[in-house]
């Protein structure tokens, strides 16, 4: 049987029946046409209707984008002639995870804004999460007070952007120990209160404990009797405040002439206020009554003169019948007590947990003595502030106890950003061929992932779903959904047996103008004629 096709004008002899066969090729190209792999033969001279499959390959630097517009299905059946399956790829946009970085600076300022040391770099373009430390420094005339409001922690981890660590200092209040001072005055009077010589300063506003001495003077017509009851010691040490030394004199007694030659003795004793003997001596022994005698106030290490003893004979006078005792009384010199204090340091967390036991910085140290402490480092913690009521980190000892308290908090570990990738396979009409499943879960942002098209009986892959994530790519924060879309395979129409195509070339009246050719052939140029149209019979 014959039929008329384009330019068919005459009937030729029916050709011998031929076996219907076809070829299938697969090729992999980039969007710009660059071959990624040589063209491969999938089926060669295979019977029409025989099933074929191809596979989605992977290429470094590329990811699958789509099937070419004129591509045969990725999986299907052989048709007569040639079929070309073409996978199209696009360059993988390698977007390396942006490594977030930051800078850390430290500066030291006074409370009034005076810069004690210019800002310096601790970390420059360092990765977020990188650990940094700063140090508490010392400056002459200043002591650490606190971290500035809004300051980054003294020790911590780099954050995105800039961090400024600011130590604030206050001027050291140098409170020198109050130096106790005193003055000593001396005067000379008679036993009835008449002034022989008024008060004159022996020591004026001198430190407590300084030694002083006075002297017994001679006045015409008078002899020394003793120290007044309220007199300070003739010699001694300055105390806080004023001391008054008073020498008392009397008129000399006119000795009576003793025709019988009566005799007397004079003794001198030096004792303490609690009646311990420091020294004694014989001044006159069996001396005539009326004979003059003198004694002297002497010094003893660790003691100071207080007064003449109760009932003492005059320090200087005349021998009387019998025994006379001159008594000088002394007391121990009191060493001024030095005021002292203690300083302790401890390290605790915001909730009171002890990081390091309290330790002694200064013990029984003189008031005004300088002390320093240091900010320590503890794994997993960073310094935040000085404790409420804490003594200064550096300062001067005060009377009593001082406690320096450093407070820390746990270092917060930055949260790692993660994402998930899911893949599912559906048909063009939304039918689920395979339920969505996880490809990557809680994976770090920037991690690479891959998926692949699968084969399903009766279906062939056509494209990626609208809004689908790339088949292969990198994790982003949140969820990515990769969707592969398939369509049902078409059943090829079996060829009509015994029918071959013949192409004839005729004029508008049906007259043959060129030799017929076998098959469905294109138009050709014929001398003296121009092409008008193509006609086909019912068999094509």
pLDDT tens per residue across span 186-231: 999 998 999 999 999 999 999 998 999 999 888 988 888 888 889 9
For residue 16, the model assigns a pLDDT of 46
Q: How many CB atoms lie within 10 A of CB 354?
A: 10
Q: What is the pLDDT, as a whole number, of residue 255? A: 59
Mean pLDDT, rounded, for 473-502: 78
Average pLDDT over residues 496-509: 69
Compute the distance between CA of residue 271 and CA of residue 108 in angstroms, rounded to an integer.
Answer: 65
Q: At 72, give phi and psi (nearest 5°).
A: -70, 160
CB 504 within 8 A of CB 474: no
CATH numbers and ranges of domains, the chain: 21-91 (3.10.20.320), 101-171 (3.10.20.320), 181-250 (3.10.20.320), 263-332 (3.10.20.320), 340-410 (3.10.20.320), 418-488 (3.10.20.320), 500-539 (no CATH)
pLDDT tens digits, one per residue of 390-402: 999 999 999 999 9
CB 312 within 8 A of CB 295: no
* Cα 38 from chain centre: 58
Q: What value does the mean pLDDT take over residues 47-66?
A: 92
Confidence (pTM): 0.37
Backbone CA torsion sign across 498, 500, 504, 510 = positive
Number of H helices, E strands in the chain: 0, 38
**How much is the pLDDT for 147?**
92
Torsion of CA 498, 502, 508, 511, to 10 degrees: -90
Q: If pLDDT is split at 50, 70 and 90, which confidence band does 3 have?
A: very low
Q: For 181-185, what is the mean pLDDT?
A: 95
**Cβ(363)–Cβ(397) below 8 Å:** no
Average pLDDT value over all residues in the chain? 87
How many Å apart are CA 214 and CA 203, to the nearest integer?
10
**pLDDT tens digits, one per residue of 421-466:** 999 999 999 899 999 999 999 999 999 999 999 899 999 998 999 9
Least confident of 23-37, 181-195, 488-502: 488-502
CB of 42 closer than 8 Å to CB of 70: no
């Amino acid at each position: 049987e014959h039929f008329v096709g384009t330019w068919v004008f005459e009937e030729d002899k029916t050709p011998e029946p031929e076996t219907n066969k076809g070829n299938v090729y697969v090729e992999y190209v980039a969007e710009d046409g660059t071959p990624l792999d040589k063209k491969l033969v999938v089926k060669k001279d295979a019977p029409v209707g025989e099933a074929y499959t191809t596979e989605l390959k992977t290429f470094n630097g590329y990811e699958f984008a789509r099937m070419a517009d004129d591509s045969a299905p990725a999986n299907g059946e052989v048709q007569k002639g040639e079929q070309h399956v073409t996978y199209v790829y696009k360059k993988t946009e390698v977007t390396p995870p942006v490594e977030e970085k930051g800078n850390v600076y430290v500066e030291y300022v006074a409370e009034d804004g005076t810069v004690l040391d210019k800002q310096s770099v601790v970390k420059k373009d360092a990765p977020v999460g990188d650990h940094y430390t700063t140090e508490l420094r010392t400056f002459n005339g200043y002591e650490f007070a606190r971290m500035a409001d809004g300051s980054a922690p003294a020790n911590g981890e780099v954050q995105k952007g800039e961090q400024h660590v600011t130590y604030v200092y206050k001027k050291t209040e140098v409170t020198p120990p109050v130096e106790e001072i005193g003055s000593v005055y001396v005067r000379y009077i008679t036993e009835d209160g008449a002034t022989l010589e008024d008060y004159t300063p022996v020591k004026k506003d001198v430190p407590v404990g300084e030694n002083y001495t006075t002297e017994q003077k001679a006045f015409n017509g008078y002899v020394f009797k003793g120290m007044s009851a309220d007199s300070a010691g003739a010699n001694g040490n300055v105390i806080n405040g004023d001391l008054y030394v008073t020498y008392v004199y009397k008129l000399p007694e006119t000795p009576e002439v003793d025709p019988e030659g009566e005799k007397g003795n004079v003794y001198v004793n030096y004792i303490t206020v609690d009646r311990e003997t420091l020294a004694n001596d014989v001044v006159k022994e069996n001396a005539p009554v009326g004979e003059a005698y003198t004694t002297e106030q002497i010094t003893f290490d660790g003691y100071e003169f207080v007064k003449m003893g109760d009932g003492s004979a005059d320090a200087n006078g005349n021998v009387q019948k019998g025994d006379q005792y001159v008594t000088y009384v002394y007391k121990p010199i009191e060493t001024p007590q030095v005021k002292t204090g203690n300083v302790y340091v401890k390290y605790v967390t915001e909730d009171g947990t002890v990081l390091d036991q309290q330790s002694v910085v200064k013990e029984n140290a003189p008031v005004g003595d300088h002390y320093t402490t240091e900010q320590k480092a503890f794994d997993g913690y960073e310094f935040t502030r000085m404790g409420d009521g804490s003594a200064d980190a550096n300062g001067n000892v005060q009377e009593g106890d001082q406690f320096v308290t450093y407070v820390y908090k746990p270092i917060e570990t930055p949260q790692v950003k993660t994402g998930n990738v899911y893949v599912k396979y559906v048909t063009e009409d939304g039918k689920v061929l395979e339920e969505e499943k996880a490809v990557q879960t809680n994976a770090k942002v920037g991690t690479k992932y891959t998926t692949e098209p699968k084969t399903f009986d009766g279906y062939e892959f056509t494209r990626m779903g609208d809004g689908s994530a790339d088949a292969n790519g990198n994790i982003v924060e949140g969820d990515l959904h990769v969707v592969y879309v398939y369509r049902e395979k078409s059943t090829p129409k079996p060829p009509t047996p015994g029918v071959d195509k013949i192409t004839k070339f005729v004029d508008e009246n049906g007259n043959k103008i060129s030799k017929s050719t076998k098959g469905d052939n294109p138009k050709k140029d014929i001398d003296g004629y121009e092409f008008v149209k193509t006609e086909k019979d019912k068999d094509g």
